[in-house]
Amino acid sequence: MKFVDFHFRRAEIVVIAQRKGVADTADLDRFLIAWFWHRPFAAHRNPATSLVNVAWRMGRGDLTVSEAAALVEASSRGRPLYRADDLGAYLRLTDAERTAWRIRTIGGYDFSKRQRTMRRRQQDRERKARQRRAAGIRPIVQSFSKIRPWESLNMSRTKWYRLQKKAREERPHYVAPKLRLVHRSERPRRLAWVLRADARGVRAVQVRISAPGRAA
């Protein structure tokens, strides 16, 4: 199984529960159990209290400690689900919801990992094709070896390429700007990655650090 950041996955489980509105439904139990499968080490000190706090974040503010203790016991029955697709099926997360909420570590039960991989590869191919077109690179079907522009000019292929090279050499070259020394006070502050949950889902963003160990 591929390494998964449990800290990021716990945040995504909370976000999915909030978006689905499971606070007052029977599905809240499965979300709390899924969170407890990926619990941090600090939750071992007082598991029931940790689940009460997580339930409050999911929208349920009246979960009792005894109910949380029952969920802790229920989480030990069976095998924990760590694979993305298995956990997505357990939480009934669709691929449309996964895409709209920017969920990355939990799969959609209606779209397999193989299908997601093929879709991602297709998107990568399309993105690289757009980058090549923006850089002025011609597609293979429009390459010079296919359209053979020297034939319409009644010249040889070698002469045509030689003229193209000469035209490129006569173009003005880009002159890089001169660099200057930057004083230490003008340098940007240090940046740190933090997790933030908003209306678009869980995102990793950079924030400036105003003091060591404290994010601005």
| pLDDT for 134 beyond 90 | no
| Mean pLDDT in residue range 153-166 | 89
CA separation for the pair 216, 214 (Å, rounded): 7
| Mean pLDDT in residue range 90-94 | 92
| Mean pLDDT in residue range 110-118 | 88
Q: Could you write out the DSSP letters of every residue in 137-200?
A: PPPGGGSHHHH-HHHHTT--HHHHHHHHHHHHHHSPPP-PPPP----GGGSPPPEEEEEEEETT
pLDDT band at 137 (very low <50, low <70, confident <90, very high): confident
pLDDT in tens, 34-65: 999 999 888 888 999 999 999 999 998 889 99
Q: What is the pLDDT of residue 187?
A: 58
| Mean pLDDT in residue range 58-83 | 90
The backbone torsions φ and ψ at residue 136, rounded to the nearest 5 degrees and listed phi first, read 90, 10
CA separation for the pair 33, 10 (Å, rounded): 11
Selection from 91, 67, 69 nearest residue 17 by Cα: 91
Kindly report the number of other CB atoms within 10 A of residue 202's CB atom. Answer: 22
pLDDT in tens, 170-210: 777 666 666 666 566 655 566 666 667 776 666 677 766 65
| pLDDT for 213 beyond 50 | no
| Mean pLDDT in residue range 112-137 | 89
Task: Give the global pTM.
Answer: 0.61
| pLDDT for 214 beyond 60 | no
CA–CA–CA angle 5, 11, 17 (5° rounding): 135
CA separation for the pair 47, 53 (Å, rounded): 10
* Domain coordinates in residue numbering, the chain: 6-111, 184-215
Q: Residue with structure tokens 């956990």?
A: 87
Quick one: tokens of 64?
């009792």
* 8 A C-beta contact, residue 163 and residue 144: no
* 8 A C-beta contact, residue 98 and residue 106: yes
* 8 A C-beta contact, residue 51 and residue 68: yes
| pLDDT for 127 beyond 90 | yes
